[in-house]
Structure 1
């Protein structure tokens, strides 16, 4: 991202009340800054931050090369690469998913972009892939619904974790949220028909934080991960 775009994005993140890591349509709340998810063939928005990636559900051998080329082309102006990742619950062959994921890891590394990750029943493989890569921009697992043990492993290996709608009706997930360092958390709405404010309110209550304190911490996380990092090799905070 060019310096002037980075400055504008930083100002938007730090001055708006909500940062929505991952959604599938433009934000309607004037207090919200969001990263809009794009698939490879989608056109980038004119003003909004966006991510672009090949989702493991949509990996096809005959279009893989074309889709990866589009991800790299549009990734140059993106806030992140993804969502991409691994999903053992879908019908796409796992080795083909892995091929696509590894290619997008390479794109993210080349462009110095964070990775937004979809992961289902493949956390050991995900952690192994990260450990093989050395220093990169942060990896963020979006829409987390897993258990405390897996979350602890992810944090110990340098991941960020994002929570969404599942927080609203999952007491165990709310309890888990209290155990994760605030400096490693993001919140999102994904493709759900809820407002990001609802997710923030639930998270603030679960973490015993004031709404404003949580908003400030997540904005700081976003500014660090998506804007201020640039091409630096800074490692994620464990705060």
Structure 2
């Protein structure tokens, strides 16, 4: 069974001691492809190097709303240039989006997000979206920009109606550790109703620990646990779901299977 972690921050320092061992532990659990989204200019070069060193690692270039400051505006031309010069393993723009839960000026967030949407359009690349309490505004921007290249709504924890609005715009829904928590009833029920053909798996490592692992760093090797929860919710076999979400994940990023 082949598994694809569509969103993990495998470049973070916590994984860098003996990274080959970290990678092997994921491989041993069936995880054979990874997408690492960048958070800003601080890790763009590292993304490229990791993908150069490991053929199973793909990456995205972008600016996470949490890490924005006024200097971010000045870095947008560099981001555009890197995207224009990208190799085959740069498969998306992101992680980018809007977050009303952080102390970053929303005007700045929107300006940087809109520019990244436009970069994705000019490069014909999908987006990896970060969205917290901003679904309506994000949808409005995507429609205003007439964005047509889809991508993934990362870290989904909303309602069925919210998810379907993004699916209608061509996005897949990123399913992570939140579905392992019985108390996350709204999200779990939404996932039950959403079409399996529009779901992908992600860990958001080292964040978003699974139920029973609170306080411990998350890891791409845990993707199988998320698969098990999804299979239970959907009433389908793990093998069947694994095959479908593998195809979905590659399709989302335009990667040949």
TM-score computed with the length of structure 2 as normaliser:
0.77
1:128 matched residue in structure 2: 140
Work out whether residues 93 and 127 of structure 2, in 8 Å CA contact, stay in contact via their aligned partners in 1: yes
Q: Per the alignment, in what secondary structure is the counterpart of residue 152 of structure 1? A: helix
Does residue 22 (structure 1) correspond to residue 19 (structure 2)? The answer is no
Q: Per the alignment, in what secondary structure is the counterpart of residue 7 of structure 2? A: strand
Q: Structure 1: 5+ residue runs without aligned partners?
A: 1-15, 230-239
Work out whether residues 162 and 186 of structure 1, in 8 Å CA contact, stay in contact via their aligned partners in 2: yes
1:41 matched residue in structure 2: 42
Aligned-pair RMSD on alpha carbons?
A: 1.9
Q: CA deviation at 1:139?
A: 3.2
Q: Structure 2: 5+ residue runs without aligned partners?
A: 12-22, 208-217
Structure 1 residues 142-201: Cα deviation after superposition (integer angstroms, max 9, x where no partner):
001112232233233333211111111024322211111112111100023141111111
Matches within 5 A, 1:95-106: 95-106=107-118
Does residue 90 (structure 1) correspond to residue 102 (structure 2)? The answer is yes
C-alpha spacing 1:188/1:228, structure 2 compared with 1 (3 Å): closer
C-alpha spacing 1:140/1:98, structure 2 compared with 1 (3 Å): same
Matches within 5 A, 1:167-178: 167-169=179-181, 170-178=184-192
Does residue 217 (structure 1) correspond to residue 244 (structure 2)? The answer is yes
Q: CA deviation at 1:121?
A: 1.2
TM-score computed with the length of structure 1 as normaliser:
0.82
Work out whether residues 92 and 126 of structure 2, in 8 Å CA contact, stay in contact via their aligned partners in 1: yes
Distance 2:150 2:123 in 1: 13
Q: CA deviation at 1:223?
A: 2.3
Q: Bigger CA drift: 149-158 or 85-94? A: 149-158
Distance 2:79 2:176 in 1: 25
1:65 matched residue in structure 2: 74
